[in-house]
Structure formats: structure tokens, C-alpha cells
Amino acid sequence: MAGKTKKGGGSGKGGKNGGAGRVVANNKKARHDYFIDDVYEAGIVLTGTEIKSIRAGKVSIKESYARAENGEVIIYGMNISPYEHGNRFNVDSLRPRKLLLHKKEIRKLIGVTTQKGETLVPLKLYINSRGLAKLQLAVARGKKNYDKRDDIARRDASRKMESAMRRRR
């Protein structure tokens, strides 16, 4: 599935990670710092040693972001540690990497990100059932501090209600 994923969990396979395979990196801070509007699934152009490092779990997407420019979507700041046995085949760990999306999706992302306040944020990186590295990319708007406090208060209130309901049983 190369298109937009639904809120219900992607490809209909269910599970905790929305039909994704093995989750390698998760950007929990993104949901805290941004309002998520749309979610897309994108492939990544990688070298051989990079995919080996990703499969070993040596990747971080916490400080990364994506930009749509010149008809391409490129991710910046994604840190893939050099593969231990890669020697001369290793590349720069923070180099920009091209994301693979349909042309229609790229045009839509270019239109959306030109609006003020919209940005492309990676949510998670996973290996799908075919062994390919996929990135879940979100169109997001930044939250203000009071929005973050409201979310925390709402979460705490729901936790307290759940625990009260459990105690009543």
C-alpha cells in the first residue's frame, strides 16, 4: 500500500502498529509536538549498508523532518549509524535521503506544505512484510504550549476515570 493510511490502522491487517511490520524507530515526540493531519507511507532510497543498519535497529528519526522540493520529497536529519562491517561502503549517517511516493501524493504534499505552519514529520520507520524499509510520514501543524498542556490534562483525566472504573468492578 503506497497511499494514505486510514486512522483505523493502515492495510487492514490490524495489530498494534497499524498493519506495519517490525517497527524499528518510533517518533513519540511528534504526536506530542504536532497536530497530525494526514499520514502517508513512503519508501526510502538507501544503500546496502544503510538497510543492514536499519534492520539491526541502529536508526533515529527523532530530529528528522522532510521537505517537498523540485518534485521530490527528501528527509533530512535521519541518523542511520554506520554498519559495523561496512568499511568503505558506509556513507554519511546524516545525509539527506529521497523518499518514494506517487507523483500525485508528492504534488499534494507540495501544495500542503506551502501553506503556513504545515510541515512533514516522520512518525515511525518499519520493515514491512516484504522486508522493505518504509517510513510513516505525517502532514502536521505545530502545537502551542497551551495545547500540549490541554492534551496532558485530558490524558490524565481519562487515566483517572479508567482507574476509577476498574476499582468499581
Question: In the chain, what are the domains?
Answer: 22-143 (2.40.280.10)
Which segments of 65-168 does DSSP mark as H helices, in order? 103-113, 145-168
Report whether pLDDT(12) > 70: no
Residue 168 pLDDT: 80
Helix (H, G, I), strand (E, B) or coil at 35: strand
Q: Band the pLDDT of 121: cuts 50, 70, 90.
A: very high
Query: When comparing pLDDT for 117 and 102, which is higher?
Result: 102
pLDDT in tens, 70-111: 889 999 998 888 888 878 777 888 889 999 999 999 999 888
Helix (H, G, I), strand (E, B) or coil at 27: coil
Residue 7 pLDDT: 41
How many angstroms separate the CA atoms of 94 and 115, rounded?
A: 27
Q: Band the pLDDT of 18: cuts 50, 70, 90.
A: low
Helices and strands in the chain, H and E counts: 4, 9
Residue 91 pLDDT: 81
Q: Could you tell me if 125 and 23 are in contact, meaning their C-beta atoms sit under 8 angstroms apart? A: yes
Kindly report the pTM of this predicted structure.
0.72
CA terminus-to-terminus distance, the chain: 43
